[in-house]
Amino acid sequence: MEKNYREVAQSWLDGNYDEETKAEVRRLMDTDPAGLEDAFYRNLEFGTGGLRGIMGVGTNRMNKYVVAMATQGLANYILKHVPGDSHSVCVSYDSRNNSDAFAHITAEVLSANGIHVYIYDCLHPVPLLSYAVRKKHATAGVMVTASHNPKEYNGYKVYWSDGAQIIAPVDKEIVAEVNAISDPSMVKYKADGKEGGIEIMGDEMNNAYMDDVLTLMLSPEARAEHKDLKIVYTPLHGSGVKIVPAILKRLGFENIYHVPEQDINDGDFPTVKSPNPEESSALEMAVEVADREGADLVLATDPDADRLGIAVRDNEGKMVLFNGNQTGAMLTYYILRRWSELGKLDGTKYVVKTIVTTELIRAIAEKYGVKVYNVLTGFKYIADIVRRNEGKGEFICGGEESYGFNIGEFVRDKDAPVSCAMVAECAAWAASQGLTLYQLLQNIYKEFGYYRESLTSLVRKGKAGVEEIAAIMTGMRNNPPKELAGVPVTRVIDYDKPEETGLPKSNVLQFFNEAGDVVSVRPSGTEPKIKFYFGAKGSDADAKIEKLREQFIK
C-alpha cells in the first residue's frame, strides 16, 4: 500500500532509530529524492515466503528494524496459534552482507518472546536449515538469504514444522501478524518473564545430514571404480563451501578441485557479476580451473546452496553448461533407471515438477511407471505434495527449471549439496557405461525426443517497473496470442483462476499450440522482473524457441 513517503521518512527522523540510520535518511532527503521515494513509499511486503528486498534504510528496504518487526510478527503467530507452551525455531544464514547480523537479531527477538532458538554456528545452506527443523522437531525455521539475487539484496524465508517454506493458510496468517507490527517499539528485545534459550548447532547436525545423504546414493561400485573422477566445485562465495566438498569426499571421490578466490565468504561476490549459477559468467573461473586440471565436471552452488549449476565435457572435450531442465531430466533418468534396476519401484513412488519445467521429466517417469505431480512454480509446492503423501507414497525426486532439485524426504526444499552428490555419482555411473554426462544426455534425447527450453526475463525496477509488469500481464489476459511460432494456440491456462486449474491462485499465464509448444509468463516473486518461459519439442525445437522469443520479447 502506497504512503506519503516524505511523512514516513520524517517519522524515522523523529522516531527511535539510531543516528546512522537517521543520517542516511537525511542524505536521501537532500540528494536523492527518487531513492527516498522508493525507500519509503510502501512497506517491504512480507509475502507468502517472507521478505526479500534491497538493503538500506526505509520501510521498503531490508534492514535490522524490518527484520526485527517481521520476527515479532512470527513470534506472535506462533504463540497465539500453535498449541502448547514449548516452541522452538531453527535459524540459519548465508554469506550475504548483514545475513549474520539479521540472523542474530532474529534469534534475539524470538528468545525474548520465550521461544527456544537453534542457530547454526556459522553460515549454512538452505537444505541444512530445512533438515534441522525436521531433526529438532521445531515449530518453524528462518533462513536469512536472498538466494541468487544481486549483492544489494537480502531476505528472510520462513519455514514451518515440516521443514518446508510456509504455504496457505499459515502463510497468510503469519503475514497478518507481521503487518500488525507497525512500529519498532512493538518489538521485544528483552524477555518480560520466561526467556527462550539460544542453542548453537554445528558438526553434529552436519554429520547427521551427510549420513542421510549417503543413504540416497545408488551406485557404490561405480563410485569406487571411478573415484579418480576430477571434479571442480565452487560455492560462489557462499554457504556450500564446507558441506559440499565434505560430502564428495565421503562418497569416495579423491580429486576435488577448488576455486580458491570463490571459497572466500564475501557478500559483495567480487569475482562474479551475479552469484547465480543460472548465468554462464558465474561458472567462468571454475571452468578455467577445470581446463587447467583436465577435470571432467564442474559443480557450482549459489550463496544459500539450494541451486546447482553444472558444466561437462562435450564430444570435442569442450566444457559446456547444462541448464536446469537438462540437469533435472538427467538426474531423474539416472535415479529412476537405477531404482528400476534395483527393484525399488512398486507403484507407490512419485516425482514432482513445476508447471514451467521440462515435460521431458514426465516422459521419463511414464516409461518407468512412476506418477508425476505438476505444481506451481516454487519448491514449497513440491514440498506440499511430499507432505500430503506421507504414509501413502514415497517421493523419489523433483525439481524446477531454475536449477533447483531435491532427492528423498529428509529435506523439504531445493538441496544443492545432495544434488551435487547425485550428479557426481551419475558421472561415475555413466563412465562405467563408457559415457560422459554429455553423451548420457544425448542418449536421453534419442530415446525420449529432443526437448528445448529457454527463459528470458525483462527487468523493470522501481515503482514504475511494478506498474509496467502488471500492465503486461493484464494485456495478455485481455488479448492472449492467437498463435505460437506460427502455429494456432489451442489452449490458454490462467492460474489466477484456481477453480479452473485445481491449484492455488497464482499470477501465471500459459499458452499452448497444437504442436505442443508452450509459453508461460509470470512476474517474479522475488525480483523486479517478468519471466517468459519458452518450451518446444522436436527436431526444429531450437528454431521454434527463437521464433517464440522474437514474438514475445519486444
Classified as helix, coil or strand, 112 is helix
Q: What is the CA radius of gyration of the chain?
A: 24
C-alpha to C-alpha distance for 464 and 179, rounded to whole angstroms: 24
Question: Could you give phi then psi for residue 520, rounded to 5 degrees?
Answer: -115, 140
- What is the Cα 333 distance to its own chain's centre? 22
Give the DSSP H/E element, type plus range, for residue 493. strand 487-494
- What is the Cα 201 distance to its own chain's centre? 23
Q: How many CB atoms lie under 10 A from the CB of residue 550?
A: 10
Q: How many CB atoms lie under 10 A from the CB of residue 410?
A: 21
Question: Could you give phi then psi for residue 51, rounded to 5 degrees?
Answer: -110, 150
What is the DSSP pairing of strand 88-93 with strand 518-523?
unpaired
To the query of whether residue 182 is one of the catalytic residues in this protein, the response is no
For residue 296, give the C-alpha cell: 571432467
Q: How many CB atoms lie under 10 A from the CB of residue 527?
A: 18
Burial of 301 (0-12, 13-18, 19+ CB in 10 A): buried
Burial of 64 (0-12, 13-18, 19+ CB in 10 A): middle
Classify the C-alpha dihedral 409-411-413-419 as positive or negative.
negative
Give the DSSP H/E element, type plus range, for residue 205. helix 203-214
> CA neighbours within 13 Å on the CB side: how many for 252?
15
Q: Which of 416, 444, 486, 205 is nearest to 329 (CA)?
A: 444
Q: Which of 307, 285, 177, 184 is nearest to 239 (CA)?
A: 307
Classified as helix, coil or strand, 113 is coil
Q: Which of 423, 374, 421 is nearest to 399 (CA)?
A: 374
Tracing cell 534469534 back to the chain, one arrives at 107
* Annotated catalytic residue, options 147, 419, 454, 520: 147
- Catalytically active residues are 147
